[in-house]
């Protein structure tokens, strides 16, 4: 009996009661399924005003209208989907964004559809990206535990969007410690081991963010499978995942105790291969791992390691050259065979050229390596 419902509750396209009302940039509200069909069929104008829309129109959930419809009909959103009928036009006078409490309750409510949870996470991520006051409000509201539960979901989109929101929250140092206290590491490691490629990349970035705080470097390193999961991602992931995993390992291995752990997980040979394929971030991690005896021993065992590092000296970016020098300095200072190999690969002549480099660190590391390779440096 459609006449019982106000016209504003009905979608202008389907003429049915809206179960998931969304606002188009023209300011008019439609049922999501209907307007999505309209857009999917290639239309780029508002069905009502006929005004042009952007190539990728955003659909903003109209939570205010949705809750009005829910309370008016006393039906849950799920039942509403079967109770469809229409409207000619709904002018949107409310705020375009829902308030955080509404968005958070959408994450925790059993009645929430997957789409409404995804919308809420999208809005919260957008609002939290550049606004530290909003991030503080979010953590004070107890939202983190609700978002962490979404990370546990088997639905890849929900997992990825929840991780993206947590990554924003982790921008503030206080939150980095708070997130670890709330059990974020366990969730992140689980995603690293079995999430979708995008989720795994975001999870690795999240570890980098958390590990900026010194105490978290130790906690992450000691966590079972955390470093191992990053090393596996480094080995098996696509380029974005490899890069994010290498960045996370670099940050975590700034803490000396974690270097041996990374070596024990088989990181060295994987990093050398990746460095050879051109990912310089891997050379940065090798620079840290070469500071521990176990790391140097693994590098010595890898046939051709020195040659790969010398190629980086020849062809790498400024940062790549800097870390290749650092790694070679560590290797050659402790091992005469490594010195011989480096000289055979032409490292001495390259380093003599680098002593004139504009970058102070490169100059310093190059002149150190010249000393070592010339035999003016006693073995440690």
Residue 182 and residue 151: Cα distance in Å, rounded?
13
Contact in structure between 306 and 331 (CB atoms under 8 Å): yes
Length of the chain: 380
Contact in structure between 30 and 24 (CB atoms under 8 Å): yes
Instruction: Determine the pLDDT at residue 137.
Output: 84
User: DSSP states of 118-148 as a string?
Assistant: HHHHHHHHHHHHS-HHHHHHHHHTTHHHHHH
Give the domain-ending residue among 22, 45, 70. 70
Residue 248 and residue 252: Cα distance in Å, rounded?
6
User: Is residue 209 assigned to a domain?
Assistant: no
User: Is residue 36 assigned to a domain?
Assistant: yes
Instruction: Determine the pLDDT at residue 110.
Output: 81
Domain CATH code at residue 279: 1.25.10.10
User: Is residue 94 assigned to a domain?
Assistant: no
Contact in structure between 138 and 175 (CB atoms under 8 Å): no
Domain CATH code at residue 28: 3.30.40.10
Give the domain-ending residue among 70, 98, 121. 70
Q: 127: which 2 tokens?
A: 């609002």
User: Is residue 354 assigned to a domain?
Assistant: yes
Strand-pair category, 21-23 with 29-31: antiparallel
User: Is residue 145 assigned to a domain?
Assistant: no
Instruction: Determine the pLDDT at residue 112.
Output: 86
Give the domain-ending residue among 49, 70, 91. 70
Cα-based distances in Å from 214 to 134, 167, 254: 25, 18, 9
User: Is residue 169 assigned to a domain?
Assistant: no
pLDDT tens for the 380 residues of the chain, in order: 334 567 778 898 888 888 888 888 777 889 998 898 888 888 888 888 888 888 888 888 777 777 677 665 544 344 344 443 333 333 333 334 456 677 888 888 888 899 999 999 999 999 898 888 888 888 888 889 899 999 999 999 999 999 999 999 999 888 998 899 999 999 999 999 999 999 999 999 999 999 999 999 999 999 989 999 999 999 999 999 999 999 999 999 999 999 999 999 999 999 999 999 999 999 999 999 999 999 999 999 999 999 999 999 999 999 999 999 999 999 999 999 999 999 999 999 999 999 999 999 999 999 999 999 998 655 44
User: Is residue 3 assigned to a domain?
Assistant: no
Residue 335 and residue 25: Cα distance in Å, rounded?
66
Q: Which residues constitute the domain of residue 39?
A: 10-70
Q: Give this prediction's pTM.
A: 0.72
The number of folded domains in the chain is: 2
User: Is residue 315 assigned to a domain?
Assistant: yes
Contact in structure between 314 and 321 (CB atoms under 8 Å): no
Residue 358 and residue 72: Cα distance in Å, rounded?
71
Helix ranges (H only) for 223-358 are 226-236, 239-252, 257-264, 267-276, 280-289, 293-301, 305-315, 318-334, 336-344, 347-354
């Amino acid at each position: 009996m459609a006449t019982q419902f106000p016209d504003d509750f009905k979608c202008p396209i389907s003429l049915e009661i809206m179960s998931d009302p969304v606002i188009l940039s023209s300011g008019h509200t439609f049922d999501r399924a209907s307007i999505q069909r309209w857009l999917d069929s290639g239309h780029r104008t508002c069905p009502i005003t006929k005004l042009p829309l952007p190539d990728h129109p955003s659909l903003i959930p109209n939570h205010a209208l949705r809750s009005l419809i829910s309370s008016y009909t006393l039906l849950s959103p799920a039942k509403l989907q079967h109770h469809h009928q229409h409207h000619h036009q709904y002018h949107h006078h409310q705020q375009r964004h829902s308030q955080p409490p509404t968005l958070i309750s959408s994450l925790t409510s059993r009645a929430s559809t997957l789409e409404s949870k995804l919308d809420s996470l999208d809005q919260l991520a957008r609002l939290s990206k550049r606004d530290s006051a909003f991030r503080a409000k979010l953590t004070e509201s107890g939202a983190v535990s609700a978002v962490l539960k979404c990370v546990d979901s088997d639905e890849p989109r929900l997992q990825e969007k929840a991780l993206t929101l947590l990554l924003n929250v982790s921008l503030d140092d206080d939150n980095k410690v708070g997130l670890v206290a709330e059990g974020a590491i366990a969730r992140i490691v689980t995603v690293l081991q079995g999430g979708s490629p995008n989720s795994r990349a975001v999870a690795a970035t999240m570890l980098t963010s958390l590990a900026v705080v010194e105490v978290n470097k130790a906690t992450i390193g000691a966590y079972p499978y955390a470093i191992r999961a990053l090393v596996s991602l480094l080995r098996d992931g696509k380029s974005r995942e490899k890069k994010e995993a290498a960045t996370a390992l670099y940050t975590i291995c700034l803490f000396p105790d974690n270097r041996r752990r990374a070596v024990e997980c088989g990181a060295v040979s994987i990093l050398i291969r990746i460095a050879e394929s051109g990912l310089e971030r891997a050379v940065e991690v090798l620079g840290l791992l070469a500071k521990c005896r176990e790391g140097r021993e693994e590098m010595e065992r890898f046939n051709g390691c020195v040659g790969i590092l010398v190629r980086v000296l020849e062809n790498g970016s400024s940062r790549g050259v800097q870390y290749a020098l650092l790694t070679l300095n560590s290797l050659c200072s402790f091992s005469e065979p490594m010195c011989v190999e480096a000289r055979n690969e032409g490292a001495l002549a390259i380093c003599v050229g680098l002593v004139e480099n504009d970058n102070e660190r490169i100059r310093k590391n190059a002149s150190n390596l010249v000393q070592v390779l010339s035999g003016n440096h006693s073995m440690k």
